[in-house]
């Protein structure tokens, strides 16, 4: 469901895919994150990390009356403190989306689907 905003000059519609790409780009810039995987990793294949053009497969956007709820599916690097990496990721995604979209982000739920050793 796209995000609709009304301004003095007209209506702005932001698609879920655009929000997912913004969130996915932000997630992949975070320390300790190896990449994102598809939310349907059993069906789509676990081994493939998502490329930039497929970030929408690793992000679920829900728009409710309290704001946006974002679910991201990630793979983290071996040896990092997962709780700290996830907290940093949540804070950064919330900050970037709120400042870019000028909307409240109600929740950023992080699903750690795997741990891998960076070679």
| Domains of the chain with CATH codes | 3-116 (3.30.70.1350)
Question: Could you tell me how many residues make up the chain?
Answer: 119
Tokens in use for 105? 């982000």
Q: How far apart are CA 104 and CA 86, in angstroms?
A: 20
Q: Specify the pLDDT at position 16.
A: 86
pLDDT tens for each residue of 29-86: 889 988 888 776 555 555 566 565 566 778 899 988 888 999 999 889 999 999 999 9
Three-state secondary-structure class, residue 78: coil
pLDDT tens for each residue of 3-38: 788 888 999 898 888 898 899 889 988 899 888 887
């Amino acid at each position: 469901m796209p995000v609709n905003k009304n301004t003095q000059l007209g209506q702005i519609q932001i698609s879920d895919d655009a929000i997912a790409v913004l969130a996915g780009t932000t997630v992949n810039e975070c320390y300790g994150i190896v990449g994102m995987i598809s939310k349907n990793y059993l069906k789509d294949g676990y081994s493939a990390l998502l490329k930039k053009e497929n970030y929408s497969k690793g992000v679920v956007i829900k728009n409710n009356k309290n704001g946006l709820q974002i679910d991201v599916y990630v793979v983290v690097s071996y040896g990092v403190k997962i709780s700290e990496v996830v907290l940093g990721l949540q804070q950064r995604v919330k900050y970037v989306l709120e400042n870019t979209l000028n909307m409240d982000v109600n929740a950023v739920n992080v699903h750690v689907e795997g741990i891998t050793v960076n070679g």
